[in-house]
């Protein structure tokens, strides 16, 4: 099950209270105060793990709590700290405060950690308050309460290339041909109900991550179809690969499809229109009239967009597209490394 949003309540552990005690041992005159300090409460820590790709584990456990600190004891014994609670989330998860919507943290690398709720400080025992003028203090500190908050986790997949387009445009077939991903493929719309990731090899030492995103339709940014649910995943990609069906069995106009999808991207976020885009005419193996692909190619030339014509079934043009995407991803990575 793919879950890319979850709301959880996290509570750290309370600090243990200090101890009120005095030493009364043989051969130790004037033993004095011996109350130990309380232990720190456990933190709630979020940690990124690249092995996870969904937030489904939080759907069934929405309340998470760390261990409380133990109280101090006599003979200056400090209470044990409460155990930290470590929750693993996928790389690409964003943490928001559920009350005010504030962005708290963004996990972009494996093993990154963020303390989402801090444990309470342990209280001091009466031995801490002994002075030359007050050698027998009879007071101590209680443990401090822990942080408690409700956070919203939002997963945005980290992929180099995002496959976008209308339903049944051939996105799943393409990613299944050039990677080991095996999404469901069928001859009806909305076959893909969740994003699929695939590693594409574009050379002996070059590879990139491609995401097959569920099909967009008109009104996707308003919640029509599945687009609104998965448009957020496009924000993380370096490059958009827009597949448009030019086959004979499609009753849609390729130029009109291009305009609708671009409009939906801009309506969701203007930043999506700034991403590099490659336009791909798919299903050319079923194309009887080249006019559909020619008009789309002319539009790309006007907008200075790279254009490819492929058939994911026969493999025509697929290698050229794959190596071009690999070269663009490599340049994007180098540019990002230079900025850092």
Crossing angle for the helix pair 291-303 and 254-268, to the nearest 10 degrees: 40
Supply the pLDDT for residue 173.
Answer: 87
The torsion angles phi and psi of 190, rounded to 5 degrees, stand at 60, 40
Supply the pLDDT for residue 303.
Answer: 93
Q: Is 279 helix (H, G, I), strand (E, B) or coil?
A: strand
Residue 227 domain boundaries: 161-339
| 204, pLDDT greater than 80 | no
- Measured from the Cβ of residue 276, the count of other Cβ atoms closer than 10 Å reads 16
Domain boundary among 112, 138, 155: 155
Query: Distance (Å, rounded) from C-alpha 153 to C-alpha 99?
Result: 13
Residues 131 and 183 grouped into a single domain: no
Residues 92 and 118 grouped into a single domain: yes
Query: Distance (Å, rounded) from C-alpha 236 to C-alpha 93?
Result: 11
Which letter, b or e, does each residue of 155-174 get, where b requires 16 or more Cβ atoms within 10 Å of its Cβ?
A: bbbbbbbbbbbbbbbbbbbb
How far, in Å, are 74, 114, 142 from residue 79 at the CA level?
A: 10, 25, 12
Supply the pLDDT for residue 228.
Answer: 52
| 182, pLDDT greater than 50 | yes
Query: Distance (Å, rounded) from C-alpha 333 to C-alpha 317?
Result: 25
| 218, pLDDT greater than 80 | no
Per-chain mean pLDDT for the chain: 86
Supply the pLDDT for residue 178.
Answer: 86
Supply the pLDDT for residue 59.
Answer: 82
What is the rounded average pLDDT of the residues 110-136?
A: 94
Residues 86 and 211 grouped into a single domain: no
Higher-pLDDT residue of 236, 105 = 105
Give the pLDDT band (50/70/90) at residue 187.
very low
Supply the pLDDT for residue 1.
Answer: 45
Domain boundary among 136, 155, 174: 155
| 321, pLDDT greater than 60 | yes
Residue 240, domain CATH: 3.40.50.300
Q: Is 151 helix (H, G, I), strand (E, B) or coil?
A: strand
**Domain tally, the chain:** 2
Residues 250 and 182 grouped into a single domain: yes
Residue 79, domain CATH: 2.70.210.12
Residues 203 and 101 grouped into a single domain: no
- Contacts (Cβ under 8 Å, ≥6 apart) of 315: 177
Higher-pLDDT residue of 339, 46 = 46
Which tens digits make up the pLDDT trace of 293-314?
Answer: 999 999 999 999 999 999 988 9
How many alpha carbons lie under 13 Å from residue 276 in its C-beta half-sphere? 15
Residues 7 and 151 grouped into a single domain: yes
Residues 109 and 170 grouped into a single domain: no
Give the pLDDT band (50/70/90) at residue 179.
confident
Residues 206 and 293 grouped into a single domain: yes
Domain boundary among 138, 155, 172: 155
Residue by residue, DSSP assigns 186-251 as -SSTT---S-EEEEEE-SSS-EEEEEEPPPP-TTGGGT-TTHHHHGGGGGG-SEEEEEEE-STT--
| Nearest in space to 43 (alpha carbons), one of 148, 151, 124 | 148
Of 47-61, 65-79, 199-213, 229-243, which one has max mean pLDDT?
Answer: 65-79
pTM value is 0.70
- Contacts (Cβ under 8 Å, ≥6 apart) of 332: 160, 238, 239, 276
């Amino acid at each position: 099950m793919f879950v890319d949003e979850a709301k959880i309540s996290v509570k750290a552990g309370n600090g243990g209270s200090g101890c009120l005690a005095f030493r009364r041992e043989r051969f130790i005159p004037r033993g004095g105060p011996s109350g130990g300090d309380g232990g720190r409460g456990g933190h709630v820590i979020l940690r990124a793990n690249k092995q996870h790709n969904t937030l489904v584990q939080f759907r069934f456990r929405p309340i998470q709590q760390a261990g409380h600190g133990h109280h101090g004891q006599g003979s200056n014994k400090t209470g044990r700290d409460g155990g930290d609670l470590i929750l693993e989330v996928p790389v690409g998860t964003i943490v928001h405060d559920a009350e005010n919507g504030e962005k708290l943290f963004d996990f972009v690398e494996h093993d990154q950690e963020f303390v989402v709720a801090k444990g309470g400080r342990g209280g001091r025992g009466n031995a801490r308050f002994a002075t030359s003028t007050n050698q027998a203090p009879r007071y101590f500190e209680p443990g401090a309460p822990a942080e408690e908050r409700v956070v919203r986790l939002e997963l945005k997949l980290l992929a180099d290339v995002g496959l976008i387009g209308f339903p049944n445009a051939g996105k799943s077939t393409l990613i299944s041909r050039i990677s080991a991903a095996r999404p469901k493929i069928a001859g009806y719309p909305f076959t893909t109900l969740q994003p699929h990731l695939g590693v594409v090899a574009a050379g002996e030492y070059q590879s990139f991550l491609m995401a097959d995103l569920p099909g967009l339709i008109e009104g996707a940014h308003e919640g029509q179809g599945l687009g609104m649910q998965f448009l957020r995943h496009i924000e993380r990609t370096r490059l958009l690969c827009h597949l448009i069906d030019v086959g004979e069995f499609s009753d849609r106009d390729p130029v009109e499809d291009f305009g609708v999808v671009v409009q939906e991207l801009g309506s969701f976020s203007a930043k999506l229109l700034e991403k590099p885009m490659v336009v791909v005419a798919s299903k050319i193996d079923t194309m009887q009239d080249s006019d559909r692909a020619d008009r789309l190619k002319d539009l790309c030339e006007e907008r200075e967009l790279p254009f490819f014509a492929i058939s994911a079934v026969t493999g025509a043009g697929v290698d050229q597209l794959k190596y071009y995407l690999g070269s663009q991803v490599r340049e994007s990575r180098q540019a990002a490394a230079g900025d850092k």
